[in-house]
Structure 1
Amino acid sequence: MKHLIALIAILLAPLAANAAEVTIAVGRSLPPYVIVDEWRGLEYDVVREALALEGHTLKPRYMAIARVMKELDTGLVDAAMTMQPSSGVKAFYSDSHITYRNYAITLAKHNFTIKRPEDLAGKSVIAFQKATVILGPAFKAAVESNPRYREEVKQVVQPTLLFLDRVDVVVSERSIFGWFANEDEVKSKVDTTQAVRFHPIFPPTDYYVAFRDEALRDSFNRGLKKLRASGMYGKIIERYSGFLKEDGGG
């Protein structure tokens, strides 16, 4: 027994020696990925647990997205979440830890066929703020001359209007839409049991954690691999999944 305890201590010693409190820049609250006032979220939990598996502790530093790059550049934080190499920020980027999947979402009863952005023509569409910038030129071209297109800052408005049948299409990230559709504020006003369709007309978007230190990035990647292999990653995803009735049509 003494030999076993000694062996465990030896194995854990390098981990303890390299353990660190990692200050990470976290953008504004975006449920279910980041829920600021509850210190949790789908992305938040993935990053925290991946670090923990390597002996590190996450210390979040919440800030506006515009400040994230500056804080990382100046060394005020060790890393930043929800980043992409295309951002122009010089850093050591992790393996992708989270993927956003934007869809055109409709009520199944309308039986819309939407296979590309151009199919949104003539339909009333509500999207998230700056969607025409984020979702690319094809989407922008499809909606910029549409008088029935609008962007809404408050994401809770999107499922409300869709289930009230006041818009034909909602453009949103799947998990975000599902989260807000399950809010009491929405369920008290509309029937959220109506079947919806998710039309995959946008490519998925992978995000990464940008680190100032290469060794810390490598450590995070090891923790992320452990998280996936253990099944914990999948459980985190399930924890924040919405409960929408989905119809598999096109």
Structure 2
Amino acid sequence: MYRLLAALMLFVATATFADEVRMAFGEKIPPFCFPETNSGIEIEVIAEALAAGGGHRLKPVYYPFARVPVAFKAGEVDAAMTDLGEDMLPHGGHYGDPAVVYDNVFITLRSRGLQIRRPEDLKGLSVIAFQGADKRYPEWLGPVKQAGNYHEQNDQSLQVRMLNEGRHDVVLSDRNIFRYFALQLTQTGSFKPQLIQEHAFTIARPQDYRPVFRSAKVRDDFNAGLALLKKSGRYRAIYDKYLKD
């Protein structure tokens, strides 16, 4: 395993890049995407998979999240991190294997002893979520919004703080995004995190987060490189870089 990982890293470092792949990403999705440094879990996984599978060099191009598939359809980029639910096959897209999976859960303080298994369990609770979550999960969040107990906050570090301080009962977040911001706040020394409880309410669907490529060859190279990252342990190491204490 060590030799496989070493060979992978040597290949990534010394490869003669076959193609530059301009890929559309959302503007800022910590810890998956940091535009200011071209880093983050998703950026690094895709970049290393493209390099390992075919010697390609990733060139991230950043857009407001909703414009990512628009940029692909307009021919502004060679690839996109997601299709946001719109089929890109009619627009010349070739889907790759999922580089990452976003896994949204309800998060509460363990001390509250709350159990969330059905939409009715949110009755009377204050819920804070990311922008547009009510449209993605109307069965769960529609009644909460109608009751005036639904709030949205794009700054997800504030979501962590508000839950920890008891200002909201429930946070709806990707579990890794929440963990990242909790770790960042804890490292400041002024934040004392309480124990949390995660409540799964939907099945994570990896196929919803597939990158899409204009070239079938580049897609195949990406898939091969991604498989190599996972086999070597490098894939897990990229996640741990951002999410381990």
* TM-score of Structure 1 vs Structure 2, range by shorter chain: 0.7 to 0.9
Equivalent-residue separation in structure 2 for 1:242 and 1:166 (angstroms): 27
1:153-207 per-position Cα deviation (integer Å, ceiling 9, x unaligned)? 2212101111111111111111111111223499555421x11111111221421
C-alpha contact 1:160 1:186 (8 A) present in aligned 2: no
SS in 2 for 1:114: coil
Equivalent-residue separation in structure 2 for 1:211 and 1:124 (angstroms): 40
Partner of 2:52: 53
Equivalent-residue separation in structure 2 for 1:69 and 1:109 (angstroms): 42
Equivalent-residue separation in structure 1 for 2:244 and 2:123 (angstroms): 28
Q: How does 1:64-83 map to 2 (within 5 A)?
A: 64-83=64-83
SS in 2 for 1:144: helix
Equivalent-residue separation in structure 2 for 1:238 and 1:116 (angstroms): 32
Q: How does 1:222-241 map to 2 (within 5 A)?
A: 222-241=224-243
SS in 1 for 2:129: strand
Partner of 1:246: none
C-alpha contact 2:68 2:83 (8 A) present in aligned 1: no
Deviation, structure 1 residue 17:
8.2
SS in 2 for 1:100: coil
Equivalent-residue separation in structure 2 for 1:186 and 1:116 (angstroms): 35
* Paired amino acid for 2:151: R
* Paired amino acid for 1:58: L
After superposition, the Cα gap between the structure-2 partners of 1:107 and 1:242, relative to the gap in structure 1 and judged at 3 Å, is farther
| Structure 1, 205-214 or 40-49: larger mean CA deviation | 205-214
1:223-250 per-position Cα deviation (integer Å, ceiling 9, x unaligned)? 111111111111112222265xxxxxxx
Equivalent-residue separation in structure 2 for 1:118 and 1:220 (angstroms): 43
SS in 1 for 2:59: strand
C-alpha contact 2:186 2:192 (8 A) present in aligned 1: no
After superposition, the Cα gap between the structure-2 partners of 1:146 and 1:64, relative to the gap in structure 1 and judged at 3 Å, is same
C-alpha contact 1:127 1:172 (8 A) present in aligned 2: yes
SS in 1 for 2:82: strand
TM-score, normalised on structure 1? 0.83
Gaps of 5+ in 1: 1-11, 244-250
C-alpha contact 2:22 2:60 (8 A) present in aligned 1: yes
Indicate yes or no: 2:86 matched with 1:87. yes
* Identical positions, percent: 38
* Paired amino acid for 2:182: A
SS in 1 for 2:101: strand
SS in 1 for 2:69: helix
C-alpha contact 2:96 2:213 (8 A) present in aligned 1: yes
After superposition, the Cα gap between the structure-2 partners of 1:196 and 1:17, relative to the gap in structure 1 and judged at 3 Å, is closer
* Paired amino acid for 2:71: E
Gaps of 5+ in 2: 1-10
Equivalent-residue separation in structure 2 for 1:155 and 1:75 (angstroms): 32
**Deviating 4+ runs (over 6 angstroms):** none
Partner of 2:98: 96
Partner of 2:109: 107
After superposition, the Cα gap between the structure-2 partners of 1:82 and 1:88, relative to the gap in structure 1 and judged at 3 Å, is closer
SS in 1 for 2:128: strand
Partner of 1:247: none
Partner of 2:129: 127
Partner of 2:203: 203
* Paired amino acid for 2:69: M
Equivalent-residue separation in structure 1 for 2:132 and 2:197 (angstroms): 23
| Structure 1, 125-134 or 182-191: larger mean CA deviation | 182-191
Equivalent-residue separation in structure 2 for 1:102 and 1:191 (angstroms): 24
After superposition, the Cα gap between the structure-2 partners of 1:104 and 1:64, relative to the gap in structure 1 and judged at 3 Å, is same
Q: How does 1:2-81 map to 2 (within 5 A)?
A: 19-54=18-53, 55-81=55-81
Indicate yes or no: 2:216 matched with 1:214. yes
Deviation, structure 1 residue 37:
1.2
Equivalent-residue separation in structure 2 for 1:175 and 1:157 (angstroms): 15
1:51-79 per-position Cα deviation (integer Å, ceiling 9, x unaligned)? 11021111111112233223212322110
* Paired amino acid for 2:37: E
C-alpha contact 2:20 2:58 (8 A) present in aligned 1: yes
| Structure 1, 86-95 or 165-174: larger mean CA deviation | 86-95
* Paired amino acid for 2:175: R
